[in-house]
Amino acid sequence: MKITQQIKHLSRFSAPRRVVVSGLGVVSPIGTGTKLVWDNLLKGCCGIVSLRETEYLNLPCRIAGLIPVKNDSNLLKTLSKSNLKSMAPATCLALVATAEALLDAKWAPETDTDKEITGVALGMGMIDLKDVCDTNDALKIGYNKVSPFFVPRILPNMAAGQISIKYGFRGPNHAVSTACATGAHSIGDAYRFIKHGDADVMVCGGAESCISPLAIAGFCRLRALSTSFNDEPEKASRPFDKRRDGFVMGEGAAVLVLEEYEHALKRNAKIYAEILGYGLSGDAAHITAPREDGSGALLSMRRALQDANIEKNEVTYVNAHATSTLIGDSVESKAIKKLFDEHSSKILVSSTKGAHGHLLGAAGNLEAVFTILACYKGVIPATLNLEDPLDDLHYVAKVPEKWEAARRVALKNSFGFGGTNATLCIAQI
């Protein structure tokens, strides 16, 4: 290798690189397509509906955030019987969101070189329990009734694999499954792959489609779901509100295209925002409940700021994990106050889960999309159903607020069962 080539090769890995967002794709309970979903979010639309099938009638929770599929020909085609024979519904949703994100980024690599520097980091929080139950019933009839695609359908990394196969991406092929922190961890890991030179472009995010009677029953037994608003589903998800009584399950997918800054500039790509930092922590406390002093969330946020190399007073918005559970919302609020101290009065806080419910493994990435768009457009989406806040933080409630700052910088929190925490620091470019 020539000396100049050696220098060029070493310089690629000698210093952390800037990472930006150049493409977005969304499938959610409030619509499919990033523009439609963002517009619906700002309008205060809610995608939480009643579950009317007979299997749900005797369950304490009978509501969920369902994707509106009926009049969407693209979704209907993707969720066809032929596709579902070999792929889980979540994988199908991930493919739809990926197609939009790549089109938005105008990234369609054709050369081996470009395909080799493009990777995928995409996971899911839960497999489709209905698929497992149906396959078990099939086995009772006979061995030959078990689909040869059963195992691939339930593997959490298969969405990433299918995306890689479809587009020929040969960079890092990575899947995360960290419960409700999956989507944020996927973005954070992808950010680090680019930052440290493992890829120039990463397709990342999460997908979830596991709403079924068994899943609802399981979460009900954990006393995690809302049960007081079955007759008013649009009012059930109430982050930070004193009447909150649990989260509402949702489904969907959100995919981001992350890109090395210079790579994006050279091809004149649209840049929505920059990923400045990524923080992780573990509560080491309980399988479902967060540490009551908020120290796990605090560590995650603090580490994201350290990674971003910025001061806490540069942050003016926190897109909260806040799922509408009694303990979780109050603990996160406590952590925000501890971290920002006197600056907490200047922090705008919101959770969009009132509009779409809790997408589990696709929550952090969907909400990261909203945080990115807030940075890009200067508007903070509201927290629906927030009528009586649990404390005095500056919550953006019911209607969006204009975001005025010298540079718009936000934290996006995601926390999962098992005490796993992730925080992304996202900023206006």
Listed in sequence order, the DSSP H helices in 62-147 are 73-78, 81-86, 89-105, 112-116, 129-141
3-state secondary structure of 191: helix
Question: Measuring CA to CA, how many Å separate 378 from each of 39, 178, 324?
Answer: 14, 31, 25
Question: Which one-letter DSSP state was computed for residue 226?
Answer: -
The whole-angstrom separation of Cα 281 and Cα 274 is 22
Q: Which two tokens stand for residue 214?
A: 């068994």
Could you tell me which of 261, 410, 391 has the C-alpha nearest to residue 332?
A: 391
Type and span of the H or E element at 267: none
The whole-angstrom separation of Cα 212 and Cα 129 is 7
The whole-angstrom separation of Cα 359 and Cα 253 is 8
- Whether 375 sits among the annotated catalytic residues: the reply is no
Tell me if 333 sits within 8 A of 326, measured CB to CB: no
Q: Which of 180, 204, 375, 425 is catalytic?
A: 180
The whole-angstrom separation of Cα 243 and Cα 85 is 42
Tell me if 201 sits within 8 A of 118, measured CB to CB: yes
CA 327, 331, 336: angle at the middle one, nearest 5? 155
Identity of residue 69: V
Catalytic residues: 180
